[in-house]
Structure 1
Amino acid sequence: MRILFVCLGNICRSPAAEAVARMRLPGHDCDSAGTSGWHEGEPPYPPMIRAAAARGIPMTGLYARKAIADDFNRFDLILAMDGRTLDAMEDLRPSGNRTDLRRLADFIDGEVSDVPDPYYSRDFDGALDLIEVGIAGLDRWLERQAG
């Protein structure tokens, strides 16, 4: 399966989700993007890189890019980090496209709806905790889909 993780700037949450997914979901093609182009071409935010590295999650070789309408044709599943990102991606969706678009939090048991943006909250570990739980839930869902 081809999976795209999306957040606002593609420097904290979505590249971290991509990095975790690359480790935990072998055999799946994972990428990340942002709904804004503010950081296009930049590596992930250094505090997120450090928080991920402390957990053994490498974020090297990742660079921000802006999500584009063609992503709906390139990916089987698009996972937004929050409701605002989900809405922005829905606005970007080409007419008639049926690509599965959800929140990563849909794969987390409980009352979590968003992965809060650590760029503003400074809670990089909290965001990584949610991302890792979300990826684990995604892994279980993918196994059920495979049958």
Structure 2
Amino acid sequence: MVCLGNICRSPLAEGILKSKVDATKIYVDSAGTGGYHIGNAPDPRSIKVAKAHGLDISKQVCRKFNVSDFDAFDIIYAMDKSNYTNITNSARNKADTEKVRLILNEISPLNKEVPDPYHDAEDGFENVYQMIDQACNYIAARLEQY
């Protein structure tokens, strides 16, 4: 799960998907393409909206996306086109590039983006939560088949 700063969208996506899959079989993590918040907890508004839905993401620690993530993960979900481009630009080969997907394409292949709620009011975070939750329902159901 990758967004720009790893404090708003991707921590929510990590927490949501983790709550829907078997952690002994599927490892979920998040990162940012920018290194602005390395070592910090997620944005308090992301923590708040997650908590309102019964999830605790407060212990997550922001990190920067690294080329080694292509080796560590089978699928890399980008929250928007800009981050998709940043990730694929760091790909070493076609196999790396093929791992990268826009998360909302899992539910609607229209290249829709999860908007960055950082500069929004509180309801922007709820909206983002709902979008990611819907995508993660589909992802989790598909992963159960493996």
TM-score normalised by structure 2 residue count: 0.90
- The equivalent residue for 1:24 is 20
Confirm or deny that 1:103 pairs with 2:105. Answer: no
Question: Given the superposition, is the C-alpha separation of residues 110 and 126 from structure 1 closer, same or farther in structure 2, using an over 3 Å criterion?
Answer: farther
Partners of 2:84 and 2:111 in 1: CA distance: 15
Percent identical among aligned pairs is: 33
Greater shift, 129-138 or 101-110, is seen at: 101-110
Q: Which moved more, 1:97-106 or 1:133-142?
A: 97-106
**Would you say how many aligned residue pairs link Structure 1 and Structure 2?**
141
Q: Answer whether contact 2:5 2:32 (CA < 8 A) is retained.
A: yes
Q: 1:93, 1:79 → 2: CA distance? A: 14
Name the counterpart of 1:6. 2
Query: In structure 1, how many angstroms separate the alpha carbons of the residues matched to 2:138 and 2:112?
Result: 14
Structure 1 residues 27-74: Cα deviation after superposition (integer angstroms, max 9, x where no partner): 310000000000000000001101110110110320100001111011
What is the CA–CA distance in structure 2 between the aligned matches of 1:127 and 1:114, rounded to whole Å?
10
Output the aligned Cα RMSD.
Answer: 1.6
TM-score, L = length of structure 1? 0.89
Name the CA distance, whole Å, in 1 between partners of 2:139 and 2:40: 27
- Counterparts of 1:76-95 in structure 2, within 5 Å, are 76-95=74-93
- SS of 2:29's equivalent in the other structure is strand
Structure 1 unaligned spans of 5+ = none
Q: How big is the shift at 1:86? A: 0.4
TM-fit CA distance, 1:117: 0.7
CA distance in structure 1 between the aligned counterparts of 2:70 and 2:9, rounded to whole angstroms: 20
Q: Which amino acid aligns with 1:39?
A: H
Q: Distance in 2 between matches of 1:75 and 1:51?
A: 27
